[in-house]
């Protein structure tokens, strides 16, 4: 089925052709006709299946239709997303698909100054892409007029609820007109999302592509049973293989992401990190460097596991095994996108074997067990990772020596020899 069968306006079809979209994905083919008919919708599909375009294209069609009718400009579409990175990505998608349309869009999210966002709103916009917290803050202090609103879109609805945004979403919906079209897009359908749909949607249509809990079929999954103290050594050994070209490494906590990043830097691996303590500028720069290929590895927490579309990710490595099975599905969904093949590797120490069992029950399959040839799985406990405040003095000293040598090499100078330790 070509995109022209959906009845989209000609400028949108031209933009689609210019971008290089040849045919709609399964979720687009199922969802777009229902949205064009004005129905409320719940769309459940695996990550990397084109959910963003599934709501952006019909939304742009509707906004352009209002423009052709010469109706006054107003906030007619509101898109809520769980993270600022996803909000930026949605904005980019809207600008790409609506590049020849007279549509104004504003992005509202935290981590940056409010002044520029407020100015955009005062100029008049047709669509807002926002994270719930910042939008609710502006609603409380600015006179935002949502009376013209026609469409509300909740992207990554399950993730927003998992992050605790339900109270904010409820307060936002209270100020919206009741007569509107409400669309919910999600990778999974937990009970919380079903409850939200019953409360805020009117006889929604359901679109479900694939099994609710399964990752994309294009992702090859395996695990390495490895002791915790050897995970960093195994990671480095894998990264030295040629096929590991663009690798996304997931850590459970921010400090863990910092330690992994420091370790890889000392091993001369080009790496960037992404977590909630990084500034908005740092986060966007890390994503851009990873997309451009400036760095080989992006170390991240689950902040990027949902919705972020990064082309060409060859491998996802779960350095820390996720506690929540749904987080696993979203993490590995960062590879194998748009029908491309990808590999997902998980490190599983003995203490996480129970989490592995829960995951395999959740996805309904047993993951392949692998071992890296030539790697010593029985090596003794090495010194802690660089940056560990609990590291013994000799390891901190060794770290300083390694860093000094690296800096000296870059400036073509010889590092000063360390004095011998007195007995």
Show the domains of the chain with their CATH numbers: 3-209 (3.40.50.300), 219-391 (3.40.50.300)
* Average pLDDT value for residue range 331-341: 68
CA distances from residue 418 to 134, 267, 343, 421 in whole angstroms, order as listed: 52, 20, 43, 9
3-state helix, strand, coil in the chain (%, to 5): 45, 15, 40
For residue 38, the SS3 value is: coil
Q: What is the dihedral of CA 334, 337, 341, 342, to 10 degrees?
A: 0
**Do residues 345 and 222 lie in contact, with contact meaning Cβ atoms separated by under 8 Å?**
yes
Report the distance separating Cα 35 and Cα 115, nearest Å.
Answer: 34
Tokens found for residue 113: 């100054």
Distance of CA 48 to the CA centre of its chain: 10
Distance CA 17, CA 201 (A): 33
Q: Identify the band that residue 413 occupies on the pLDDT scale cut at 50, 70 and 90.
A: very low
The encoded tokens of residue 271 equal 């790496």
Q: How many CA atoms lie within 13 A of 343 on its CB side?
A: 15
Work out the number of other CB atoms within 10 angstroms of the CB of residue 307.
25
> Is 255 or 21 the better-scoring residue by pLDDT?
255
pLDDT in tens, 132-149: 999 998 998 877 889 999
Q: If pLDDT is split at 50, 70 and 90, which confidence band does 62 have?
A: very high
- The Cα 328–Cα 250 span in angstroms is 10
Alpha-carbon distance of 348 to 225, in angstroms, equals 5
Task: State the average pLDDT over residues 289-299.
Answer: 91
CA-CA distance, 159 to 210, in Å (whole number)? 19
Tokens describing residue 76: 């007619």
CA atoms within 13 A on the CB side of 184: 30
Evaluate if residue 419 carries a pLDDT over 80.
Answer: no
How many angstroms separate the CA atoms of 188 and 180, rounded?
A: 24
Q: What is the pLDDT of residue 403?
A: 52
**For residues 88 and 93, what is the distance between their CA atoms, to the nearest angstrom?**
9
Tokens of 398: 């060794």
Give the least confident one: 229-238, 259-268, 283-292, 313-322: 283-292
**What is the spatial distance between Cα 90 and Cα 238, in angstroms, rounded to a whole number?**
33
Report pLDDT for 382.
60
d(CA 344, CA 221): 5
Q: At 124, list the tokens.
A: 């008049």
Comparison of pLDDT for 348 and 308, the residue scoring more: 348
* Chain length of the chain: 423
Would the pTM of this model clear 0.75, i.e. be above it? no
Has residue 279 got a pLDDT over 90?
no
342 within 8 A of 316, measured Cβ to Cβ: yes
CB atoms under 10 Å from CB of 125, counted, come to 20
**Four-CA torsion 2, 5, 6, 7, nearest 10 degrees:** 130
pLDDT band at 217 (very low <50, low <70, confident <90, very high): low
Torsion sign across C-alpha atoms 288, 290, 294, 298: positive
Angle, vertex CA 307, rays to CA 303 and CA 311, nearest 5: 105
The alpha-carbon radius of gyration of the chain (Å, integer) is 24
CA max distance for the chain? 88
Mean pLDDT, the chain, rounded, equals: 84
With a cut of 70, say whether residue 398 has pLDDT above it: no
pLDDT on residue 407: 54
Q: How many other β-carbons are positioned within 10 Å of the β-carbon of residue 280?
A: 15
Alpha carbon of residue 53 to chain centroid: 16
Locate all alpha helices (DSSP H) within 124-156, ordered by sequence: 132-141
pLDDT at residue 381 tops 50: yes
**Integer Cα distance of 1 and 31 in angstroms:** 13
> Which residue's structure tokens are 């592995």?
356
Structure tokens at 144: 């935002």
């Amino acid at each position: 089925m070509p995109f022209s069968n959906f009845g989209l306006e000609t400028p949108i079809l031209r933009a689609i052709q210019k971008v290089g979209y040849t045919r709609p994905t399964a979720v687009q083919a199922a969802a777009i006709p229902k949205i064009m008919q004005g129905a409320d919708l719940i769309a459940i599909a695996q990550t990397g299946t084109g959910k963003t375009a599934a709501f952006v294209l019909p939304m742009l069609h509707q906004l352009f239709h209002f423009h052709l009718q010469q109706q006054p400009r107003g906030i007619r579409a509101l898109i809520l997303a769980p993270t600022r990175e996803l909000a930026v990505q949605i904005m980019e998608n809207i600008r790409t698909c609506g590049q020849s349309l007279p549509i104004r869009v504003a992005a509202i999210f935290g981590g940056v100054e409010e002044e520029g966002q407020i100015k955009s709103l005062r100029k008049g916009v047709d669509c807002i892409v926002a994270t719930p917290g910042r939008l609710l803050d502006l609603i409380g202090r600015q006179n935002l007029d949502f009376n013209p609103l026609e469409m509300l879109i909740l992207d990554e609805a399950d993730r927003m609820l998992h992050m605790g945004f339900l109270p904010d979403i409820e307060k936002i919906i209270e100020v919206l007109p009741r007569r509107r079209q409400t669309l919910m897009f999600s990778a999974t359908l937990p009970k919380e999302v079903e409850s939200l749909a019953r409360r805020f949607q009117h006889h929604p249509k359901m679109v479900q592509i694939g099994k609710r809990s399964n990752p994309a079929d294009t992702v090859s999954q395996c695990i390495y049973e490895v002791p915790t103290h050897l995970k960093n050594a195994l990671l480095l050994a894998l990264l030295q293989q040629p096929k590991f070209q663009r690798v996304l490494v997931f850590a459970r906590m921010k400090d863990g992401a910092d330690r992994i990043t420091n370790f890889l830097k000392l091993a001369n691996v080009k790496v960037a990190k992404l977590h909630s303590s990084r500034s908005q500028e740092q986060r966007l720069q890390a994503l851009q460097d990873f997309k451009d290929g400036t760095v080989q590895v992006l170390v991240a927490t689950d902040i990027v596991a949902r919705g972020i579309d990064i082309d060409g990710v060859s491998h996802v490595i779960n350095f820390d095994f996720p506690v929540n099975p749904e987080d696993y599905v979203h993490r590995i969904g960062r590879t194998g996108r748009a029908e491309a093949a990808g590999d997902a590797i998980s490190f599983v120490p003995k203490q996480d074997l129970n989490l592995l069992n829960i995951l395999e029950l959740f996805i309904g399959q047993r993951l392949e067990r692998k071992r890296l040839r030539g790697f010593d799985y029985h090596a003794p406990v090495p010194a802690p990772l660089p940056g560990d405040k609990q590291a013994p003095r000799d390891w901190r000293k060794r770290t300083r020596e390694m860093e000094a040598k690296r800096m000296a090499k870059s400036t073509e100078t010889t590092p000063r020899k360390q004095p011998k330790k007195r007995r």
